[in-house]
Structure 1
Amino acid sequence: MEQKIEQYKPLIKKLVIRISNKEYDLIKTNGQNGRVNIEDLKRVIDDYGCTIVSLPDKAFSIAEAYDITSENRIDIYLPLWTKEEGRSDLTLSLSCYNDNGVPKIEINDIRVL
């Protein structure tokens, strides 16, 4: 079954809000940091030096999504927005999948492009 980005939008928006609120412990507790060390996530965002804000709806039309059918997941590359810049050079890489019918997301990477 081909997965769609739509079902993950609420989770992604909530994750970005947690990032913007610097709720890194909650991200880690929920297992959403995935392959990323939570201290590295914090460091990259702090080093970037701008204030992460909630995603506008247009963020999802800009996002790149790849259906990884063999692993029953979608990988998404999503630009983040900041108070100072609007669309920033920071990109969040996510894996989205279903775990027994429950949508889940994990961070694979965050980087400046």
Structure 2
Amino acid sequence: MATFHLRDRAWRPPMLRSSSRTEPRQGASMAVLCDWAMSTALCVGVSAFLPAAVVPWILAAMLNLAGLVWLGVALTTAGPPFKRGRFTAWDGSLLSFATSFGVQAAARLGLLGA
């Protein structure tokens, strides 16, 4: 049976742990969010060179592919999908898919002028 040592830092509640352990998690979270924003910006930038009639559909397809790439990264390296208070590659995948579906919905409603 496992015993809990009161002086062991790993078993302290999160509010009693030192703040130095929470800093890298916030930095990693922001790194994932910035990487997702850069991949979305790349998709928008590439689709800007296309004819206006096909931009929404190609943009949605590229965002969907970016979501699949994020999903592949999440499956191979990110660990569990739900980490409270932290963005992971799973969240990047969900954001890419949601953005893709939003672009498709806006294109079908005629909001993008296509």
Same fold (TM over 0.5): no
Q: More helix by proportion, 1 or 2? A: 2
- TM-score by length of structure 1 reads 0.25
Q: More strand by proportion, 1 or 2? A: 1
